[in-house]
């Protein structure tokens, strides 16, 4: 049995960033702090604050930039929705 991570916990220091390749459909959930999410070919500025989230809706690269120290989860929406800052990083489900 193989276990795949279905989300990752990312602790970002203020003014640091995290790059997501091919993130279409992934959920970026901000547990604490404030982040800016930008996607390839998307003119919007998406600000996500503690307790809020955004589902990436464009193919290509997305960047998460921390305005303040922040804790975020990135992964499959249904799994990120049930996670919190006490959930083990990389928690996954079994795959055949």
The structure's pTM equals 0.79
Sign of CA dihedral 39, 44, 45, 49: negative
- DSSP three-state, residue 80: helix
Q: What parts of the chain have a pLDDT lower than 50?
A: 1-4, 89-96
Q: Residue 70 to residues 3, 9, 63, 88, 91: CA-CA distances in angstroms?
A: 27, 11, 14, 17, 20
Domains plus CATH for the chain? 8-76 (2.60.120.10)
Asked if 20 contacts 74 with a C-beta cutoff of 8 angstroms, the reply is yes
Residue 65 to residue 93: CA distance in whole angstroms: 28
Count of C-beta atoms within a 10 Å radius of residue 13 = 10
């Amino acid at each position: 049995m193989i276990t795949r991570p279905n989300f990752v916990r990312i602790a970002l220091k203020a003014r640091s960033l995290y790059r997501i390749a091919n993130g279409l459909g992934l959920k970026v959930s901000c547990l604490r702090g404030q982040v800016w999410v930008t996607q390839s070919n998307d003119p919007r500025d998406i600000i996500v604050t503690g307790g809020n989230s955004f589902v990436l809706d464009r193919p290509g690269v997305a960047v998460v930039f921390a305005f303040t120290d922040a804790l975020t989860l990135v992964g499959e929406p249904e799994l990120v929705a049930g996670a919190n800052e006490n959930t083990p990083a990389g928690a996954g489900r079994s795959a055949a």
